[in-house]
A and B are shown apart, each in its own frame.
Chain A
Amino acid sequence: GQNIDQPTEMTATEGAIVQINCTYQTSGFNGLFWYQQHAGEAPTFLSYNVLDGLEEKGRFSSFLSRSKGYSYLLLKELQMKDSASYLCAVRDRNSGYSTLTFGKGTMLLVSP
């Protein structure tokens, strides 16, 4: 099975930087995704890491350490519209055709 842990809630100020951590335990790690979900809406893809290191995409970056079972999503220059839930999802090759298992998400509140 898999175990994915993320903080439940975080708060930050507009213009600041926030780091959302995700730790996971899985026997057949085969990739990690981050999704953003605004309240009542569908999750949307943010980033994908399969090798160790940092992937940068505009204001968002995602880091992976496979040996530590750890990832983080870094959001820079926070905007009010970044208030959302951020879901960490892990792919496990032992789940057959590599289905995704999602964490419960981190609710980020950006204040003025």
Chain B
Amino acid sequence: DSGVTQTPKHLITATGQRVTLRCSPRSGDLSVYWYQQSLDQGLQFLIQYYNGEERAKGNILERFSAQQFPDLHSELNLSSLELGDSALYFCASSVEGTGFEKLFFGSGTQLSVL
């Protein structure tokens, strides 16, 4: 157990809908990262937060948004869902978010868009 908690574990929804994925980092970790993993693209970095502030942005679509709350948990919002958004979404955390640290990954949310 990495100490990073993600909910829900599975999510099935329809095209055009909006969903929210939730992540609680390890105790003491200030930085949260979101990754998307699909079979053909591998693990793709979406966005990083540190202590409530956005720190880095990767290949995140405009339909997607995220935030980190004062209690350090983070939410990833996916809207106007398309079939291609079906993937495994991972949250990871680290202490300072400098990139010099190893990441601790949650068990992921499997999103299926039908």
Contact = CB atoms under 8 A, between A and B. Distances in A.
Given A42-B108, A99-B48, A104 B41 contact: yes
A42 B88 CA distance: 10
23 contacts: A30-B99, A42-B105, A42-B106, A42-B107, A43-B90, A43-B103, A45-B103, A89-B43, A95-B56, A96-B55, A97-B48, A97-B50, A97-B55, A97-B56, A97-B98, A98-B98, A98-B100, A99-B45, A99-B56, A100-B103, A101-B45, A102-B43, A104-B41
Contact of B2 (A44, A95, A97, A103): A44
B42 A100 contact: no
A102 B42 contact: yes
A43 B56 contact: no
Contacts, number: 61
Interface residues of A, number: 23
Contacts of A64: none
Interface in A57-101: 87, 89, 91, 95-101
Interface of A: 30-31, 33, 41-45, 48, 87, 89, 91, 95-105
On chain B, which size bracket covers the interface? 20 to 34
B99 A97 contact: yes
Interface string B7-28: 0000000000000000000000
Q: Count chain A CB atoms within 10 A of each CB in B44, B98, B99 and give the residue with the most.
A: B99
Contacts of B90: 42-43
A33 B94 CA distance: 14
A87 B41 CA distance: 13
Interface string B47-67: 010100001101000000000
A37 B42 CA distance: 12
Looking at B35, B42, B97, B107, the one whose CB has the most chain A CB atoms below 10 A away is: B42
Given A31-B100, A97-B55, A99-B58, A42 B2 contact: yes
